[in-house]
Structure 1
Amino acid sequence: MSNKSSSVFFSFSRKLTAVILIFLLISLSALVIVWYSGTLSDLDGEFINRQNLTDQILKQSIIWIDRGISLYELQYVPSLKEAMEMYQDAYKKTGENVTKLDLYALKKEVDAELNGDFDFYLVDKEGQVLKSTFKDDISLDFKIWPKFFAIVTKIRESGEFVPDRMVKGYSKTAPFRKFSYQGTSDGNYLLEISRNVERLLPLATNASYRELLNNLPAANKDIQTIELYNSQYKIVSKYPFKGPDEQPSAEILSWVIRSFAEHANFEVKNPETGEIIRYTHLPISDADSPSASEMSLVARTVFSTEERDREKLKATLIFCAFFIFMIIVAVGAALAGSRYLSRPIDQIVEDIQCIADGDLDHKIRPTGSSEFNNIELAINSLVANLKEMIVSLKNREEALLEELGRRWRAEENYKRLFESAHDAIFIIKDTRIEGCNNAATRLIGRDLKDIIGKELHEFSPPMQPDGKDSAVASRDIIGRVASGELSVIKWDFIKSDGKILNTEAHCSSVLSDDIILVMFIFRDVTELLEMKRRESTAISQIDENLVKLAAINDQIRNPLSSIAVLNELQGGEYEDRIFEQIGVIDDLINEVDRSFVKTYKVRLFLMKHYGIHHTGTEENEQNNK
């Protein structure tokens, strides 16, 4: 029977340990997995934020660089305007007959007079170049650029002189040219002039794009390469610079063309390397230039994922290490719990003897048999409760006596101070302090010069105990005292060290020289209020202890009766010794009953002679009786 019960007990303990272990593993695993997922999500978020920041820097920087180029090009506008006037004069001299217009002679004259290299173009209403000193552009049809054709058509019809931006031009052999346009007076033709330069000026422009691209990797360590493409899908600048002969692949050009066509940004992932490739459309808004739509750029940026992946790997390793450590700790805790639950408890008689000898700290050791399990738990519980109750009663009785002594001494001191008229007195004129005594200065801990002329609420916390604002409450009280409506108040002060001071005051008003003065006589009741709260708490605690003690007596006697019956039924060589120890415990319980009666009499004495009342119910008092 014993072995069977023992095996059942051990099986239960192991199952309980397994359940606790599984619960701990699931809970801790969930927390670690949430942390791990959050870490990976943060790393991805930071990676995307760095890419977005790079795009923002590119867009803003390109706009600033273009503004600088635009300002630089303004130096060519006066010469283009003079050339256009000469062009208009030449057109009018032909009687508006374009067949008689000699553009080469005009070019020679303008180049000599304006000291530059100019080309002239004559465009009809259909947007086709009829004549030009730059042969590659003859027969060029502007309608292949619908937006541009619509703009120059308006210029032709309005007759307004409009300078354009400096561009390379349609022809591959063309130099950099700054164009200007103006319609003829009859509106039939568009006169176009270009001033030719060897390179896009200023010389620092290319360096500006290159410097921008060279500095971006310092701001984003994920950048591998950056390329800038113009509207003709040619590379303007790139990082790192590997030479001018390197050409983009067809796939790259297709994404660049799509970005220009849709004015949109695209993101592509390289399946082999895992790199992220972004195609970012960089618009340049220049509403005054006909070629503004062709000035935009597209940036192709390649971002490496190696740094992000290294951080993810690091987080994964930390997660795995922590998870393994968590498993080891959980298994260790489960094994320790299993060993603890399987300890033998066959020394119960010896343990009872140790307790009977006065060693209340001694615990009943488990025997491993479920037959004595209830006895073990009952005795351990009643001994622990008995010990705790005895210690608690002694400590609380000592604390109560000490508190009562402090209360009596404090009340005596308070009476002597009050009878010697050392109360704090404040004289108020209007709402400000007109005068006060030394007790008042000591009360709020400030010098006389710091008090005179101030208001009461300036030495008070923001709010009074009744929840009113101190400034509003002080003025209201002064008005009510002056009218005779109020004679006693409660008021809180705040001392110079920040301590809150509870006071009571007797109030009265005095008429002096047709001026109503209000007098407050304050006394400090902070300690008195605190003592009353502690007294009430102490009496309530005594009532609670009495109820608990009565319950414990019943809880102890009932298990003792069960033990006596079980011992008589089982018999054995320890029967007499167990009966002997039961008698000893019964004597201890009787001693507790006598202490209960004494404590209850002390409580009645305090309530009768000191006027101390508790907050408990009358039902509890009847139960204690």
Structure 2
Amino acid sequence: MVVLVVCLVGLMTVYDYINLKSSIDNEFSSLQNQTEDSIAAALRLDDTATTIMDDQLNRQMISGFDVLFAEYNRSGGNPAAMNLEKVKKTLGEGYDIYVINESGVIVYTTYPPEQNEDFRKIPYFYEYLTKVRQSQGFFPDRVVHESLDTGKYRKYAYQATPDHQYVMELGYASPSFNETTLKMDDMNNIAESASFNPYIDQYSVFDMMGHNTSDDSLPDNRTESYVLQVIANRQTLQTDDPMNHREIRYLFVDMKNPRYGSDMSRIVEITYNTGRVQDALNHLVFIHLLFGGCALLIGCILAYAFSRQMNRPIVKIAHDADIIASGDFEHRIGTTQAREFVILEKSINTMVDSLKAATQRLKDDEIFRRDLIDQMPVGIFLKKMDTGRYVFWNRASEEIFERPATDVIGKSDEEIFPAAMAAQIKGEDAEALASRVEIKYKKITTKMHGDRVIHMIVVPIYDSKRSVRYMLGIAEDVTDEAMTLKKDLIFSITRSDILDQLAIIMTYLERAQLKTTKDDMQMFFDKTIGSVESIKNQIAYVGALQDPGLITPRWQSVHQAFAEAIQMLPEHSVDIKADIGDTEIFADPLLPRIFFSLLSLSFRRDGSTLSKIQMTTQRRGESLILVYEDDSKGIPTREKERIFEFGYCHENIVSLFLTRELLGFTGITITETGEPGRGARFEIVVPKGRFRPGK
């Protein structure tokens, strides 16, 4: 009920507010247009009356020019020789004479205050005087204020001299102009128009010189800048003052008459009080809130009375529901006297029976899943990420890590393992979070079985909000499989290499039997010794299988591993270079044997013409590339991928299947990218995190 009342009052308030605001805005705009039209009409009416008076004085001014030009002709067209005071006396009281040169400056006059007045300060009027000087005939002007701030009004007229060097100007100030001025800027008419608009606070009228027509004063700097802007653009300008709820309009009333030089247009500054509009809107909102508050209070009282009557059975049902929620599914919702809650009682009791059955099924399913996972042959463990404590540890995990579940469940890595191993596990979790999965071979040391190789998979488990909730680990002991794979590699390569070296020894010995001199025989024996040394090194690597560390990947210097591979080669004249710096990579301990496999392939493939081999490094994105190249005849295009197949052998090419597999233990890949006929080229790509600068 409360929400309903609030919504209804709110909707009504918003609706009425929008309607009233629209209505007031329309009224304000309409009244504003009507007022400004009335003010403009009043000013134009006054201007029309003054224009009629100006027209009546034009004949009088033309007669005055006849007297003036008679004196001009007498002086021989030289204004300096004219007797202007005599002409003024002849014309009568109120007249003054002005002689304006082509620069717009009054050079001679009977009115000293305006001597040397420069009309270039009034661009539009100077342009008008230039037009008069270059024309012929009589040019009347309006009754206007003097250019000096004397407060007097004069009627002016202009006529160019026959030689168009000067403009003769007559000014006439009649005593009757005092009454005329009241008609020129009649503030009573404007005040009457403004009185019908309640939103107008004040108004002022300015002429085209920027003077206030009521007292001929200049406005303040801010108002003057707006007035000058209106004069320049001859358009109405509006400014807003929202802080003081004011809207100021500078109304431009265009009354320029092309017949006259003076521009009688007016700028009316009108200040509107928009605060009254907001006051009306605020009053509306207050009335609505008052009635809404009263309705809300009444509604709350009624709601409280009804709720007191209805909440008794609800409290009883809630009490029974709390008992059921605590786990007592044998409890039932008691009966109430209210018919409205009978269906609710039956529904809750039915729900309790369903929950009881579902809970039993969940328990059975949980036991089944736990026993199923517990019997799996691989280790499975689960750790909560918020606490870092283990919540599951199956039997296979107990056997692999030789730690019972009772010593692990509920504890963190720091409480179970040594500090170094706990830090390593923390790093593995961070890598799993970064790559969504971490797969690696890991060496552990157990009390019963010693060093073991564990194949680990660590996967983060997310909840519905995409936050990591658990870290799932899967572990498998692959010590025997890893050792067998490496034995196969070493035996396969070593057997082939030893046979090759024995064949070389037999060849040298047969040739030595044909030699008769001691020096020739000694040369063949020296070459035979090189092959024997190679066989010795090969057998030494076979013995390395007894080293437990052989099964665990570790950080190794690429330069050192490549140098060890070169030592296993027999005597040769091939130029072998390694421009690989001091880079280390995380790879299988048999890395030297892997490099030796590539060297052996180069010698077998084209040993007679082979002249150089080089190993270099380069960066590609976030990976490190080890590039192995020789100048043999290369690998045919159709064989580039087949050489990595298991058991492949063709034209002195031995399969590199085990080489690719051993590199793959730590995520390293190898491909052949050379051009046939231009040498073999292998690219070994080491991913990010598997290489680093050497120590």
TM-score (normalizing by structure 2): 0.42
Query: Which structure has the larger Rg over C-alpha atoms?
Result: 2
TM-score (normalizing by structure 1): 0.46
| Richer in strand (by share) | 2
| Richer in helix (by share) | 1
